[in-house]
A and B are shown apart, each in its own frame.
Chain A
Amino acid sequence: MDNLGFIAAAYLATLIVVGGYTVALWRRLKRARENRRPNGRTQEPAG
């Protein structure tokens, strides 16, 4: 296969950017959901 380096770089770059964004979204969603739980930051203070 000619130009293998360019082909591999294009596929790898796409994987890294989209994969990295997906993982970042998972973490952000997990954190946002934790903050929304009854004992999270958004809870109404007692009294």
Chain B
Amino acid sequence: MANEQRIDRLGRYAGILALPGLGLGLYLGLVWAPPDAMMGDVQRIMYVHFPSWIAVALSYFAGFVASILYLVKREERFDYWAQAGVEVGVVFNITGLISGSLWGRPTWGVYWTWDPRLTTTAIMLVTFAGYLVLRAFVEDPETRARTAALVATVGFLNVPIVYFSVRWWRTLHQMQSSPSTVDPSMVLPLRIMMVSFTLITLYLMSRRFLVAAAEGAAERESLRMGAANG
């Protein structure tokens, strides 16, 4: 319980810290930064699109590590962190795909195409959404946690494929940029938004962990009472 209070407190700090960063990042990205020389103003979608994928990578990685730890140690807290990582990852996976589609229409001419990067991110979303559906359908807590951990571990194998897809198959989606290839006036708002999204991710994961811990305790108690009543 003391551990949960610490997670609650740290999560709140992350959430509070994210707010001024978000405000500043939005101002710099939407007003202060210059438009892109080729794409014009629509490139400003980058300041919300790319940080979404940072949040996805962080969340799914947390879910993956927690799943491995659960499979090795069989401690419930790792299952709670795995749930938190995957669910928050799915949320940002959705925002990343939506903002990418809205960026793609004016620049590529289409909202969606079966480009390797887009396809692998769609597969990633379906896989981790499947993880959440699976959890809803398995009643036994141990079987549910074990099966879900296996799905998250196997599902995470796609994450490096998503990252390298733009290098392995050079098609429509551009390769990763680096600060050396982006104008400094665009790097600053992007970095601020990345830090803010990371803090929001930590905040959401802490809330989701607390939900999982509270629901897990209630489920254990319910099972215990059911067993005691025969």
Contacts and interface: CB of A to CB of B under 8 A. Distances in A.
Contact of B208 (A2, A17, A25): A25
Given A13-B98, A22-B204, A6 B214 contact: no
Interface residues of B, number: 34
A10 interface: yes
A2 to B, nearest CB: 5
Contacts of B225: 44-45
Given A3-B41, A7-B41, A21-B204, A29 B218 contact: no
Q: What secondary structure prevails in chain B residues at the interface with A?
A: helix
Interface of B: 26, 30, 35, 40-42, 44-45, 48-49, 52, 91-92, 94-95, 98-99, 102-103, 105-106, 200, 204, 207-208, 210-211, 214-215, 217-218, 221-222, 225
A4 interface: yes
Q: What secondary structure prevails in chain A residues at the interface with B?
A: helix
Nearest to A1: B41
Contacts of A26: 207
Contacts of B204: 18, 21-22, 25
Interface of A: 1-4, 6-7, 9-11, 13-14, 17-18, 21-22, 25-26, 28-29, 32-33, 35-36, 41-42, 44-45
Given A10-B48, A10-B98, A22-B204, A29 B214 contact: yes
B95 A18 contact: yes
